Structure 1
């Protein structure tokens, strides 16, 4: 028996660093990752899809987002089981009970709207732990494991949230206890645990049966999410009394959010940065968070600004990584001697240079003025 394990679609998500046409393209890509499950399910021979929480970004979605999302799910072509998570809990304002969702929900979409066992077919059950609020006061998964028999039925747990061994704050009441999961697996009451909440693929514990699928499209930068954009193809051998499991990761995401650090102390460093950015593929689907450190002359800083301005127009987004950025700008000796100006203008430049070299409150403005002067004299403003 084979199925697809996915989670954290968070349809309707926006990213503050995406502007203009980039945000609609990113939203479409998130729905596109859902659409891609149809061909993948057909290729893999998957019976169904489980979505382990956070199908939607929140419960207050625009009607168009709900309708387009349901249409994407319809196209998957096999049963799709949706688990409400912390972003879209089954509370009084739930999208899952809205008139629009209820009216347009395709027949192949099933909401796991109650905790406990859901029958899939003879000999196969899902054990669901849906969220009914954003702040559960107990381990929802442990509750549904309690009392499950080891009776030969193949069971897949579908849960959402952090497993206790993965977080430093062990006092959170909603943490999923690894010990309870492994005990249920060991006694044969359940055979696979499909989890959501972590946005990268992650095998938890030592059983090989407890997995986070990660999000099918990237949601954060790669220093936070090392392996997003995947779906898990899970194979459970029902002919094996132990229900042996094989898990394969398949990539469906098309966007990248990359964090880059680069030292810039010379014009050569600026040129190297330009080359590195130029060689990156799929710029229209790539977001760069750039951390720069070093000390530059005003001339080299102006060249850096030109470089960054250019690539900000080419990439989906190019944003500063403020915590990793520290650039000192200092006029070099003789840097402004060959501008071909004299008299009052030359005296003004000398005054700007002196101010730029100081530590006063006007130093930054003076450096910016000198950089602009260089760009104007070199034709950079044209």
Structure 2
């Protein structure tokens, strides 16, 4: 997964973490004496992944030969003509303990446990794939786990989405004993759906964005026909933090510096800031210097421009500090005028802060 706000160096570490978490999942599964691992879609960001990433991911899973990994194609990596799962590299390098759930057919994961997969055949299906996978189920003696991907209709922003998974139909099958657990992917936040306690999104094992409420987890499921226990285990290393910070005084800047300095694992933390308030040129220059310093420490610090409203108003102390004359003084006056409003105001304010920092450095 590529994130535009990450530097090349940070992106490399972010990508490495998304491979390392496979190893963490394998270790956890062995420690918990799990019988197998299920990944519910979007194993890969797309079907056009680099060969190196593909073979490294397979190597991570191959390191746990006693643990079966069942991979469901999702909307990012569907089983279409260009599927990564049909590539020569995947077919040649896929270890024996990894199986792709390509078909709408019941699969025996281990004796007495069946998987009911609902793989995405393309990026734009026109029906509820989980419903299609479950349509022909009849009563049996095995434990059945539905493996699906996509939005639940009770949570979808589009109530008319024909691809949405129907909660009512799933819960009816759970109540009837036709299905004993429903493992879902697509939603990156760990979520218990409905009232049965048997329908869960595990969420993304590594966080990917700011709007995820509980990412970075896997679920350890202890399942029988009569009982289910679901434990959340945190495995993710990265964090995405979003803060709205009011700034109108040096004390506000002090508080921002204290918060940033106090954050742990900065190299694996991405921060998005929206700054709101009114500052002098000197305070804006201090803010810029502060954020520039911490940007080198954090995974990334980005400004949320749409939610920011920081006004820079030069005061007399600022003007005296510049100590400019001639053309430079005229340019300063023009920048002060432009900074008061209009389309060029943000650029003018940044220019004033930069000029202040240059004068400060010269002195």
Structure-1-length-normalised TM-score:
0.90
The Cα RMSD (Å) is 1.8
Higher relative contact order (Cα pairs below 8 Å, separated by 6+ residues): 1
Cα displacement string for residues 244-296 of structure 1 (whole angstroms, at most 9, x for unaligned residues) = 10000101110001111101111211121111101101010011111110111
Q: Which residue of 2 aligns with 1:33?
A: 21
1:321 equivalent to 2:304? Answer yes
Task: Report the CA distance between 1:368 and its aligned residue.
Answer: 3.7
**How far apart, CA to CA, are the structure 1 residues paired with 2:21 and 2:116?**
25
1:355 equivalent to 2:343? Answer no
SS of residue paired to 2:106: strand
1:162 equivalent to 2:151? Answer yes
Task: Report the CA distance between 1:168 and its aligned residue.
Answer: 2.6
Q: Answer whether contact 2:313 2:340 (CA < 8 A) is retained.
A: no
1:51 equivalent to 2:51? Answer no
**How far apart, CA to CA, are the structure 1 residues paired with 2:140 and 2:296?**
60
1:232 equivalent to 2:219? Answer yes
**How far apart, CA to CA, are the structure 1 residues paired with 2:164 and 2:295?**
41
Q: Which residue of 2 aligns with 1:375?
A: 357
Cα displacement string for residues 92-146 of structure 1 (whole angstroms, at most 9, x for unaligned residues) = 0001111110000000001111013112233211001111100111111111211
72-81 or 176-185: bigger deviation: 72-81
**How far apart, CA to CA, are the structure 2 residues paired with 1:118 and 1:178?**
23
SS of residue paired to 1:374: helix
Structure-2-length-normalised TM-score:
0.95
How many aligned residue pairs are there? 362
154-163 or 353-362: bigger deviation: 353-362
Q: Which residue of 2 aligns with 1:198?
A: 187
Q: Which residue of 2 aligns with 1:174?
A: 163
SS of residue paired to 2:243: strand
Out of 267, 277, 280, the residue aligned to residue 284 of structure 1 is 267
Q: Answer whether contact 2:36 2:109 (CA < 8 A) is retained.
A: no
Q: Classify 1:159/1:357 alpha carbon distance in 2 versus 1 (closer, same or farther; 3 Å).
A: closer
1:123 equivalent to 2:107? Answer no
SS of residue paired to 1:235: strand
Q: Answer whether contact 1:142 1:176 (CA < 8 A) is retained.
A: yes
Out of 110, 117, 138, the residue aligned to residue 99 of structure 2 is 110
Unaligned runs of 5+ in 1: 1-12
105-114 or 357-366: bigger deviation: 357-366
25-34 or 347-356: bigger deviation: 347-356
Cα displacement string for residues 340-374 of structure 1 (whole angstroms, at most 9, x for unaligned residues) = 55x53685376246524643565555444432332
Cα displacement string for residues 283-342 of structure 1 (whole angstroms, at most 9, x for unaligned residues) = 10011111110111111111111111111111111111122111111111343225555x
SS of residue paired to 1:193: strand
Q: Answer whether contact 1:352 1:370 (CA < 8 A) is retained.
A: no
Unaligned runs of 5+ in 2: none
SS of residue paired to 1:227: coil
Q: Which residue of 1 aligns with 2:250?
A: 267
Q: Answer whether contact 1:331 1:356 (CA < 8 A) is retained.
A: no
